[in-house]
Structure 1
């Protein structure tokens, strides 16, 4: 499936540091140093009600990580999925009387346009679940053959206990959650802990047998479609070498999605899924988490259609730390618009510098320093503000640094 157009990332003098980020699995800061090529998998959208600011904040976080890896001299392989067949999407299609394929296609195209407007670096491989049905069914069949999956009527479930007994994976390795919290999140986030016949209430669905009125495909398992977590396990294995460097996504994916994506992959390959597990905070609006189910969405496309400069939207997000939960307000956007005007004025008077031979400027050095510590974009934004307040004239390398590291092309 096509991705979106890639923005230019200007080269900078020197080489930046390898970033360190918070690793959920070890509950600590770890250097995200690739062995050779940085591998990144970020879970994509279920394409309906795209793209709200919660989506945008997540993809901006890992856009920042990619930019830092590139500045440190590493090639990057970035993979993202889109869950273009899933219960929430099908329910929305039925509620609105739209064919589910048309809904998925239109919302995916809207997402592409929003990502391009925000100058988010695109994945090298952008894969829809419907493109890997056969591969996913074969993966489930492999788990069945190994005794790490089992049938409940015409559905297939992952056997967590069998996986723990026969592979290096252990339930809780990635999420660090207790069982009571896992059960709560399973019920709230697409699991079915009360399903009769399961070996363990936490065991996740791998394959959903055909249901009347639902899309299904014929494969080695018969008629049906994939469950949720298995899709990311399969897509990641197809396009990245395991263990890849960073698994990323919103914090609401820690459990069950990332936990079991890792479990499925390890059960299939015997290898760890990722070296680090990184999670972005959630964005709220009007006192609640911004979510499709609540409908309290601030959509990127609506803001840009109303004439908001996408750079101001990006700057609104950059002013928040990616790992923190925060609440969007119109005041934050207004502040970003004012900040952008100041930055543009600063950049308009930039003096020329030789980006190849010139030494690292104080502004560039400070951006590299603060961003390398857990992608601290608020500190980077503050560094530009401080330079402007101090009357420090911009150089062309400073302007390029804002473009390269923060993704904002100043005018």
Structure 2
């Protein structure tokens, strides 16, 4: 007997039925000029070799290169049979595509030929985040898993150089990693990690050693608590850590399940400089010289004026959770969602003003939306859908 995976064929509460109906009605909108794919987008990064392309990690078990200008989605890196959670570009000359997967491995491919390369095995649970960097002249890969481990790899040999865990053993599933360029040197990197607990940790890594960084004002004793040795400015899970990147502005930006994104000031020893209350779980944050952009579970992309800290505009178009934001340049931001769409939103002042005016007109009834209901068939089974929901929500408390 065949089994239906259509949620409409199962008993649902009034709330879930209302959500399903709302999403179905909203799914036909063309806001953000969507590029539509056939599976959920779990992660995305900018193409380091082109301002018009991105690499995305899909629940269908592949990495896909997408050209935003010509909308080409045919370059696909295949191999995993489970969802791919993260993607990075690195190795010698940046010629390798890496992907973390539900199967606990990190896969790799030649960037040009898409031929499968080495698989990195060492995590005992989902690989949730990866990044590439150079340490002491070597190309390295750093991964974080649901097993609460950070592993440093030599990409040329596949050798595992270091495995890191919080000394208190309180660190939960890793969510994101970022290299602090200002504090790093040719011989070592300073790494910042976010996890399913509220604590942001810092690590110093060289080829020969790796350790957690503690505040020099603290005396580490057996009674020390992790809160003394970490950055603690959120109430619960931190999904994103990001350095703003300019010489004048190298603060740490964060996104959390507590419904806020924050700017943590380097000059104030990572104290809060600004808080942006998005209102629901915040999965992603990016910043330009003028704007901070946040997105997450409520499906909206919110643009904040950095000069005032005030919400400037809300872009709506996605009908499922937004999982990632990527800046193409100072004037465009891409949003990626579980709904399988990539949407592009302008950040120049003229376009933002026009978008604000259009929304005001809509609220006043001068413009009416005419969405075309569609349905998006998932490629996952019912059990896999439940497992994906657990993965995305396992750190939400």
- TM-score over 0.5 for the pair: no
Higher helix share goes to which structure? Answer: 1
TM value normalised by structure 1: 0.25
Instruction: Please say which structure displays the higher CA radius of gyration.
Output: 1
TM-score (norm 2): 0.26
Relative to its length, the structure with more strand (as a share) is 2
